[in-house]
């Protein structure tokens, strides 16, 4: 587990030339056993991500599973 840092980018992609699905690109930071910060770039797809519409657009609410 870690914290989301920076911007959360939500993209819409087309699958099989007709199905549209959403992808969230996030950066996660956490500390290892020695206290060193580690940064990871992660993608979350379709049902693994919950989105919420806001006046400014959509935000990532949470990622389900790994």
Whole-angstrom CA distances from 9 to 17, 18, 42, 59 are 22, 22, 11, 9
Beta bridge pairs of residue 11: 23
Query: Which residue did the predictor score with more confidence, 41 or 36?
Result: 36
Looking at the 3D structure of the chain, how many domains does it have?
1
Stretch 58-66: mean pLDDT: 50
- Please report the pLDDT score of residue 34 as a whole number: 93
User: Burial of 48 by CB count in 10 Å (0-12 exposed, 13-18 middle, 19+ buried)?
Assistant: middle
| Closest to 57 measured CA to CA, from 11, 25, 15, 14 | 11
pLDDT confidence band for 6 (50 / 70 / 90): confident
Domain containing 14: what range? 3-63
* Residue 34 three-state SS: coil
């Amino acid at each position: 587990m870690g914290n989301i840092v920076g911007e959360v980018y939500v993209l819409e992609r087309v699958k099989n030339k007709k199905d549209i699905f959403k992808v969230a690109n996030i950066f996660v930071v956490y500390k290892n056993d020695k206290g060193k910060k580690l940064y990871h770039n992660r993608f979350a797809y379709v049902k693994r991500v919950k989105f919420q519409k806001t006046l400014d657009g959509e935000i990532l609410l949470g990622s389900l599973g790994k």
